[in-house]
Structure 1
Amino acid sequence: MSTSTQHQFRYTQTPSKVLHLRNLPWECTDDELVELCRPFGKIVNTKCNVGANRNQAFVEFADLNQAISMVSYYASSSEPAQVRGKTVYIQYSNRHEIVNNKSPGDVPGNVLLVTIEGVEAGDVSIDVIHLVFSAFGFVHKIATFEKTAGFQALIQYTDADTAAAARNALDGRSIPRYLLPEHVGACHLRISYSAHRDLNIKFQSNRSRDYTNPMLPVNHTAIDGALQPVVGPDGKKIEPESNVLLASIENMQYAVTVDVLHTVFSAFGTVQKIAIFEKNGQTQALIQYPVVTTAATAKEALEGHCIYDGGYCLQRQK
């Protein structure tokens, strides 16, 4: 049998709502399978790491037409299905359901996978996400990213019970309107459990935060380029409000330490975290308050003022 005939034979099998995927990366996860298949319909079950080389899997759609849609799409597409850059081969399975396996996203864990529907990256800041999900317990880490499914976030709690409380309360709900830009309409949260247990956050930025490690380096590029500038009617750039201030310290005649900054900024409210770093030969600092209003008050009071008498260590803030 020729190769072309074999290729065609895969798509003339009896359709099933269960698809058989081959040539997957080693230890492919449920999350990766769902990410690949979700654009075509609702996934009700998966079975990963099948076969001698653990590089095959089964995915079960809620409806037969959804499985047919995925097979038909990749049968005619010039771009193959891929996971981690590897071409994945898809065919109908001989089975019509996956048994003895929990649905992806239903296995409780301490990390939530949150899809924020109705928004684009930049519409919902990582600080807003932190504010919403901190209502249920201490958030250890957050990582945001853009996928086919839309704007998503991984949110890590201390334990599965805290994550479950947040999921039960917020799944299907909307982020409060006052926390969103005016142009955003309906904004719904779709929440499942992630297979991750501990997120690997390398930098503090507008896309990722590790709230357990204040000494983690700051990714300046991510902070500077995360949001497109908003320009007002007068042509001046409008800075988006945040509970984190970026302070540039000029005319450094005396040492400015974390303790010094804490003393200055805590006059306006509780300071949660401070990080000092050098950028383009200038000393800068990130100062985090619990809420935006406190940060705004501190910014208005301290902008352009000096830390020490005599005009030393001028502060400019964003």
Structure 2
Amino acid sequence: MQNPPSQPTGSVTPSKVIHMRNVGPEISQNDLLQTCQPFGMVSQLILLRSKNQALLQFQELTSAIQMMQYHQNQQVNIRGRNIYMQFSSHQELTTTQQPSDGQTPTSRILLVTIQNPLYPITVDVLSQVFSPFETDPRGTVEKIVIFTKQAGLQALVQYSNPMAAAHAKGALDGKNIYANCCTLQIQFSNLTELTVRENSEKSRDFTNPTLPVSRAPPPMYGQLAPTQQMMGQPGQFPYGADKSCLIVSGLAERMDCDRLFNLFSNYGNITRIKLLHNKSGVSLVQMGDNMQANMAMSYLKSLRLFDSPIDINYSRYSTISPPGVNSDGRTKDYTNSPLNRFTRQDSKNFRHISPPTAVLHVSNLAPTTAIEAVNAHLGQHAPVVASRMFTETQGQRKQALVQFATVEQAAEVICLLHNSPLEGQNIRLAFSKNSI
């Protein structure tokens, strides 16, 4: 049982800084921002992971007061966890109040990770995104550098002062550059000054136009520009060939190769999956290409499955060897599996890629199957909250939307029951963007 707050809201002087407790590891920075930003602009956010706590500072005192008053009678609950809040004894966050992960709240340089970058990300693109936060007195964007690391595509954005950086971070963290892709994850950098040696599509010093200009072609992360390209269409990607293999940890005992396939195949074709012998709960998943691997990692990282949050990173291995005679089912090859969803470049599945949701799309149903049968079949694992049957306009094929109480339950149903038989048909399950 979770303990109530140690002191009531009004027992300390109101402050722009809110102290949050019971912030579990499954709760992200973006989760907290989405809870707080409706009340006003957030200038700083520090996650204290070792203590399951957070410190969040609003730009205006009135914003902090409004949020505390609103939640006096309405418990904050994020990802199933009650969050307890109170005014901090600090009126401002200072450089001595730094989180253990090395973020520096007063830095003027932002470290930006771009997840699921389906379209070209250049200096000009990032300049358009981050420049609206440079108006006086907040400062200007001085330098931008784009690079790739183990975490994926990243950039450093330097402002002329920390206030502009804090404003941009609070407004843009968790937002998409383009619809449903190119998601920004932003933290403060430890650096004090960026070094730019040339002005190009990947680096720019806006304060020094005399630097050498590179004429190298811009990086291509998708085949066409956003106005020309269907959302989600695969193309080239800046990572090397070794970035198509992922290492997945935190898996429950009941997860096997096929169940991992059922989940990860929502975001790309699967080549092979291997359950590691010497590491319990750890598996390698090789995707069809590096764009699909990045998409799977972006959407599934920290997802809870069977009461265990999974973690996903790029593997140091570039490929998984084909299963041998004595693989005991711990390595499986899915290269030619008819269940891979993206074997055709024009597949409509690209248009329907969705992050994990509590609503599942059910297809490949028999013409005579009723919604009651669908509910009973999927309800074997978790109770169905709502559902509806519909018919596809073209082809007149019956389909259904089925909603569960949580995203975790829906993901588990996909793992367990995707491609399972129902009234003579093997049904197909996928996360749905639609509501019931």
- Fold similarity call, TM over 0.5: no
Q: Which category of TM-score, normalised to the shorter sequence, fits these structures?
A: 0.3 to 0.5
Richer in helix (by share): 1
Normalised by the length of structure 1, the TM-score is 0.40
- Which structure would you say has the larger RCO, counting Cα contacts within 8 Å and 6 or more residues apart? 1
Normalised by the length of structure 2, the TM-score is 0.31
